[in-house]
Amino acid sequence: MDKYCGGSSEVPADPNDELTEADKMGEEGNLQGDYDHLTPAERRYMEQKQKIDMHKLAKVANKSHRDRIQDFNQYLANLSEHYDIPKVGPGFSPRLGATAETVS
Angle at CA 27, nearest 5°, toward 25 and 28?
65
Nearest C-alpha neighbor of 41 from the set 33, 31, 30, 49? 49
- pLDDT band for position 10 (cuts 50, 70, 90): low
pLDDT in tens, 42-101: 999 999 999 999 999 998 888 899 999 999 999 988 887 777 666 676 766 556 555 555
To the question of pTM greater than 0.75 for the whole model, the response is no
Domain-by-domain residue ranges, the chain? 14-76
Mean pLDDT of 7-25: 53
Q: What is the 3-state secondary structure (H, E, C) of 32-82?
A: HHHHCCCCHHHHHHHHHHHHHHHHHHHHHHHCCHHHHHHHHHHHHHHCCCC
Q: How far apart are CA 19 and CA 26, in angstroms?
A: 11
Instruction: Look at residue 29 in the predicted model and tell me its pLDDT.
Output: 46
Instruction: Look at residue 13 in the predicted model and tell me its pLDDT.
Output: 55
